[in-house]
Amino acid sequence: MASICSRALKDGSTAYQVIVSIIGFPRLAKTFPTRAEAKAFGETVEKDLRAQIKSRSPVAKTAPKPAPSLADFNRERIADLLDIWKNTSECTKSNRGNCPSVVRQVGQSRVEEIDEYWIRDYIERLSKTKSKSGRVFSMSTIRRHLLMIAMALRARARTLRLPKPEFPFGDRMLGPNWSKPRKRTFAIGEKEALFKRFDAIGADVPSRNHWPLLIRLALLTAARLQELVLAEWSELSDSGKSWNIPAEHCKTRSDRSVPLNSEARSIIAQLQALRDHSKPRIFHALGTPASVSVLFHKYAHEAGLVNFRFHDLRHVAITHLYKVEKSLSERNLMLVVGHSSFKQVIAYTHLRADDLTDAMDADLLKRNNQHDATQALRDLRRERVRKLREFHLPVRMHRSDVALLDSLCQSFNTSRSQVLKRCLPRVLALLAAEANAPAPASSPSSLELSGHALVHPTDSTGWESIKSLLLAMPEVPPSDFVSAERPTTALT
């Protein structure tokens, strides 16, 4: 760049000095009596020097930098690697939000310092350090920090085409009881207290009517906070019986469909009355998922619910689905709640001792009812046999009576299995009725059917009474009237 400055001479006149300074060339300076001459000289010299730069060889101009070595990688700051990694596609949204906290905790540590002792010191230090929320870091949060550091190191090593760096971390370093699954659900009276607090919200608050509907829908669908708060009207099916959650709203980044029962559809109908057609969101009066989470915790605390979060509603809902919706298979239950394994469903299911006792009592009652039903069926069968013998009708028939079965199949235009599913005495009574009782002259007292003698009543009224009696009897399995041995004498 050329710069011009004025200089006062001894004779009282003024001269102008031009200085041209460009990287790669010696500095040039010259004085002129007028500014115009100085400016013209500076522009000419600068133009010539820049032309020389362009004429140089590209190889000489842009000499390739040597590739970073493993030693260079080890000297890099962990904080710098985290800043690079959070801007890549490998970093999830939640990890990107946690990066500033990890950067503050690692400080000026470098890659070469990482070993087992550094990791153990990091765990011990953070387990005694309070976060911005005023609570010490939990072991699950510390574990996430360390996994993020490991992912940032490996991503940087892949970019530099260096061997995978070692990161000697294991869950055992966190202690034996570091993973304590959350089991917070509603205690007695807490659900009513929570809804009572929502009813107390001032009428001037725009979200007053949305809060109780949001909680009820969460308890019915077991949906996550961001799925509910970000839900749009376009996600509901045309029939209104399902809610198709897009991948960008799901934690697992995959679409899923949630069935809506009659109670959930009733809530959707109430939300329709509150709908703002200028906004696509269903809960348009609520803010972001983060702000809803903070405000819910505030309302729950004011209602007397200690340490209760919005995500605990998902635990309550999944427990209810597991207990009540017995028609859902394990696979379907996983699809409804958005879990990739049934082990996760079980982790969200918290059955109390009273629930288990109720289930055991219900199972015992079911077994007793089955026993009573079986005993009643046996008594009914004994009564059927007794009544058949009163009318001198055959109780059982031989298995080899294929001809009789075929004739019955042809008469009723059905299969053998369907014939055997019906009560044989009922079929015999119908056949006897078709024989125009009383019996024909060739057999005035009985009708011979495959070796069995069936006595005819003396008049048609007797046949009608037998027919009505047999028609009123229940159908029984074939084993009740099919015998493996032929009777030695005709039943009369």
125 vs 4, more confident: 125
Query: Is the torsion defined by CA of 67, 73, 76, 79 positive or negative?
Result: positive
Please give the pLDDT value at position 303: 93
Determine the average pLDDT of the residues in 210-220: 94
Q: Which residues contact 359 (CB under 8 A, 6 or more apart)?
A: 323
Distances (CA, A) of 166 to 77, 109, 114, 154, 156: 16, 16, 9, 9, 13
Cα three-residue angle 42-43-47, rounded to 5 degrees: 115
Determine the average pLDDT of the residues in 285-299: 92
pLDDT at 347 over 70: yes
What is the spatial distance between Cα 139 and Cα 151, in angstroms, rounded to a whole number? 18
- Cβ distance 346 to 333 under 8 Å? no
Q: What is the share, in percent, of the chain residues with pLDDT greater than 70?
A: 72
How many Cα neighbours within 13 Å face the side chain of 267? 23
pLDDT at 476 over 50: no
What is the spatial distance between Cα 373 and Cα 238, in angstroms, rounded to a whole number? 45
Determine the average pLDDT of the residues in 418-426: 51
- Domains in the chain with CATH codes: 2-57 (no CATH), 73-174 (1.10.150), 190-351 (1.10.443.10), 381-483 (no CATH)
Q: Using DSSP, how many helices (H) and how many strands (E) does the chain show?
A: 20, 9
Please give the pLDDT value at position 455: 39
- Cβ distance 164 to 70 under 8 Å? no
pLDDT at 432 over 70: no
Please give the pLDDT value at position 344: 79
pLDDT at 244 over 50: yes
Residue for token pair 């911005």: 132
Residue for token pair 């493996």: 484
Enter the tokens of residue 443. Answer: 């057999």
Q: Which residues contact 311 (CB under 8 A, 6 or more apart)?
A: 182, 224, 225
pLDDT at 372 over 70: yes
Determine the average pLDDT of the residues in 352-357: 66
pLDDT at 450 over 70: no
The predicted-structure confidence for 68-97, as pLDDT tens digits, reads as follows 788 899 999 999 999 999 999 888 888 898
What is the spatial distance between Cα 384 and Cα 390, in angstroms, rounded to a whole number? 10
Please give the pLDDT value at position 123: 94
pLDDT at 216 over 60: yes
- pTM for the structure as a whole: 0.53
184 vs 462, more confident: 184
pLDDT at 157 over 90: yes
pLDDT at 486 over 60: no
Please give the pLDDT value at position 180: 74
What is the spatial distance between Cα 74 and Cα 202, in angstroms, rounded to a whole number? 59
pLDDT at 222 over 60: yes
What is the helix (H) or strand (E) element at residue 282, kind and residue range?
none
The predicted-structure confidence for 252-282, as pLDDT tens digits, reads as follows 788 888 989 899 999 999 999 999 999 999 9
- Cβ distance 280 to 234 under 8 Å? yes
pLDDT at 466 over 50: no
Please give the pLDDT value at position 434: 47
Determine the average pLDDT of the residues in 157-185: 87
Give me the chain's average pLDDT, please: 77
What is the helix (H) or strand (E) element at residue 228, kind and residue range?
helix 225-229
Please name the amino acid found at residue 30.
Answer: K
- Highest averaged pLDDT of the listed ranges 30-44, 102-116, 314-328, 463-477: 102-116
Confidence of residue 305 (pLDDT cuts 50, 70, 90): very high
Please give the pLDDT value at position 358: 67
